[in-house]
Amino acid sequence: MALGPRLDLRQTQSLKMTPQLQQAIKLLALSNLELETFIGEALDANPLLDIGENTGDPGDLPDAPVGEAPGSGDADTAPTSDQLMLEGGGEADAPFDLDPEALDTDRDTGDGTRAGDMRDFSSPGSSGEEGPAIDERGGPEPTLAEHLEAQIGAVAPDVQTAFVARHLIGLLDEAGYLTAPLREVAGELGVPLAEAEAALQVVQSLDPTGVGARTLSECLALQAIEADRYDPCMARLIDNLELLAKGAFAQLKRMCNVDDEDFADMLAELRSYDPKPGLKYGGGGGEPVVPDILVRADGKSGWTITLNQATLPRLIVNRTYYVELRSGCQDRASKTWLSEKLADANWLMKALDQRQKTILKVTAEIVKQQEGFFRKGVSELRPLTLRAVADAIEMHESTVSRVTSNKYLHCERGTFELKYFFTSGVASADGEGSMSAEAVKAQIRALVDAEDPKDILSDDMLVDLLRGKGFDLARRTVAKYREAIGIGSSVQRRRQKKLEGVG
| Peptide bond preceding 65 in cis form (omega within 30 of 0) | no
Distance CA 386, CA 366 (A): 10
Print the SS3 string covering 342-362: HHHHHHHHHHHHHHHHHHHHH
Q: Whose CA is closest to 206, among 150, 262, 280?
A: 150
Contact 325, 338 (CB under 8 A): yes
Print the SS3 string covering 232-284: HHHHHHHHCHHHHHHCCHHHHHHHHCCCHHHHHHHHHHHHCCCCCHHHHCCCC
For the chain, domain boundaries: 22-104+290-372, 173-285, 425-499
pLDDT of residue 28: 82
pLDDT of residue 426: 54
pLDDT by residue for the chain (503 residues), tens only, comes to 567 788 888 888 766 667 777 777 888 888 877 888 888 888 888 888 888 765 444 433 334 444 433 333 333 333 333 332 223 333 333 333 334 344 343 433 333 333 333 333 233 333 333 333 333 334 456 788 888 888 887 788 887 888 888 889 888 888 889 988 888 888 888 888 989 999 999 999 988 889 999 999 999 999 989 888 888 888 899 998 888 888 888 888 888 888 888 888 888 888 888 888 888 876 444 456 788 899 988 876 688 888 888 877 778 888 888 888 888 877 888 888 888 888 888 888 888 888 888 999 999 999 988 888 888 887 777 788 888 898 998 888 888 888 888 888 988 888 888 888 887 655 444 444 456 666 777 788 888 888 888 888 888 888 888 888 777 778 887 888 788 777 888 888 887 777 665 44
Contact 403, 28 (CB under 8 A): yes
Give Cα 65 distance to the centre of its chain. 22
219 in helix, strand or coil? helix
Based on the number of CB atoms within 10 Å of its own CB, is 26 exposed (0-12), middle (13-18) or buried (19 or more)? middle
Distance CA 252, CA 241 (A): 10
Q: Whose CA is closest to 16, among 98, 111, 95?
A: 111
Contact 66, 296 (CB under 8 A): no
Distance CA 288, CA 406 (A): 14
Contact 296, 411 (CB under 8 A): yes
The residues, ordered by sequence, that sit 6+ positions from 436 with a Cβ below 8 Å of its Cβ are 381, 382, 383, 384, 423, 424, 425, 426
Based on the number of CB atoms within 10 Å of its own CB, is 255 exposed (0-12), middle (13-18) or buried (19 or more)? middle
Q: Whose CA is closest to 352, among 90, 41, 61, 98?
A: 98
Q: Which CATH number does the domain 425-499 belong to among 3.30.70.100, 1.10.10.60, 1.10.8.60, 1.10.600.10?
A: 1.10.10.60
Distance CA 308, CA 289 (A): 12
Distance CA 470, CA 500 (A): 33
pLDDT of residue 438: 67
Q: At what angle do helices 232-239 and 249-256 cross, to 10 degrees?
A: 140
Contact 292, 27 (CB under 8 A): no
- DSSP code of residue 305: E
pLDDT of residue 434: 53
Residue 331, H or E segment: none
pLDDT of residue 148: 87
- DSSP code of residue 80: -
Distance CA 169, CA 184 (A): 15
Distance CA 158, CA 132 (A): 43
Cα angle for residues 85, 50, 353 (degrees, 5° grid): 35
pLDDT of residue 229: 83
Distance CA 93, CA 95 (A): 6
pLDDT of residue 122: 32
pLDDT of residue 90: 35
Contact 438, 484 (CB under 8 A): no
